[in-house]
Structure 1
Amino acid sequence: MRKLIMWNVMTLDGYFEGNQNWDLSFHGTVYGEELEKLSIEQLNAADCIIFGRVTYEGMAAYWTPEQGEVADLMNSIPKIVISKTLKTADWNNTTLISGNAAAEIKKLKEQGGKDMYVFGSANLSETFINEDLFDEYRICIAPVLLGSGQPLFKQGIAPKNLSLVSSQQLTTGGVILKYSK
């Protein structure tokens, strides 16, 4: 069975973006050779990346013109966008799912294969948390106190007890935490 893995960068005080969509300036505090290497490893270990609509649109706009190994992987890997409002998904190798997201992801997990990742997509992640679909949470903590913004884990999510799999300190001051259920 495939694993569904959440990958996100968040601030020490729990925000995955600032007060505006795509306010991700704090990502620069942790990005470096180590996160680039991890990004390549994760993309090579994945069958697909899953996005909600807002994250999909932002990622497509960012990665389509980019160059380099990470960009090549992002642009070529199969992608799934979950949206009830999108009519088409034009980023290379993208499948649009407009039905029951949890049911569709359960089917994909049962098919077996390589890992599936959810990048960003806090609203979609909330659905997957509440449906108990994530097998692993990979969170990079940026050494930043943002003070306000969009929290990664919102009030009202289903409680979960997790087990720490590993922690890795980055030379940039960030920490990557891996938890499994």
Structure 2
Amino acid sequence: MANVVLYIAMSLDGKIARTNDDLDWLVEVVGEGDNGYADFFKTVGAVIMGRKTYEEVLKLASDGYPYPDIPNYILTRNPDREAEHVTFTDEPIERLIERLKQDIDGDVWIVGGGEIIKAAMEHDLIDRYEIIVAPVVLGEGIPMFPEGTKETKLKLTSQRASGQFVMVTYEK
């Protein structure tokens, strides 16, 4: 059965984006190659993200939508939109993930943002947390774990450096 994986980068102070959703700070950090992204993506069978994250992905995707060959779900309060390669939905995350785990080959990747992460954690849906820590302190921005996120105990299963990034993996 598929695992649900949070694979995400954050600043040293736990932010996943600037207050204006910008990720400029992230692309300025020097890593090693793709920092293991290609190997991770081989395991992915579906992608879930919030609308704001989706809009940032589109801004960064100069070569076209980066995940066109697998199911993509954009969680939004206004699902009456259409776009190539994605399904906009207001389906509760717990139902969506339950359905995907039965229907897809590969893992379910939660891309972000913070409110999606919070909702997934509220229902204890995330099996593995793969967090890429950038050596940047933003001081303010969008937190990976918004206020009110459910307390969750995790076990560190691996860590490694990749250029200036630290890659850590936790499991529940």
Q: TM-score, normalised by structure 2?
A: 0.89
Query: 1:74-93: per-residue Cα shift (whole Å, max 9, x none)?
Result: 2333211122213123132x
Report the count of equivalent residues.
172
Residue of structure 2 in register with 1:66 after alignment: 63
> 1:51 and 1:20, CA in 2 relative to 1: closer, same or farther beyond 3 A?
same
Q: Is residue 84–residue 99 contact of structure 1 (8 Å, CA) maintained in 2?
A: no
Are residues 1:15 and 2:7 paired? no
State percent identity of aligned pairs.
26
Decide which moves more: 5-14 or 96-105: 96-105
Structure with bigger helix share is: 1
Query: 1:21-71: per-residue Cα shift (whole Å, max 9, x none)?
Result: 2x212212435443x2522122221111111111122223432x416xxx6
Q: Is residue 30–residue 170 contact of structure 1 (8 Å, CA) maintained in 2?
A: no
Are residues 1:46 and 2:44 paired? yes
What code does the residue aligned with 2:99 have? K
Distance 2:16 2:107 in 1: 22
> 1:114 and 1:168, CA in 2 relative to 1: closer, same or farther beyond 3 A?
same
Decide which moves more: 104-113 or 151-160: 104-113
Distance 1:37 1:154 in 2: 26
Unaligned runs of 5+ in 2: none
Are residues 1:133 and 2:130 paired? no
CA-based RMSD of the aligned residues comes to 1.9
Distance 2:124 2:7 in 1: 16
Q: Is residue 46–residue 104 contact of structure 2 (8 Å, CA) maintained in 1?
A: no
What code does the residue aligned with 1:66 have? D
What code does the residue aligned with 1:24 have? L
Q: TM-score, normalised by structure 1?
A: 0.85
Unaligned runs of 5+ in 1: none
Residue of structure 1 in register with 2:29 after alignment: 30
Decide which moves more: 101-110 or 156-165: 101-110
Residue of structure 1 in register with 2:140 after alignment: 148
The alignment partner of 2:74 has SS state of strand
Distance 1:152 1:37 in 2: 20
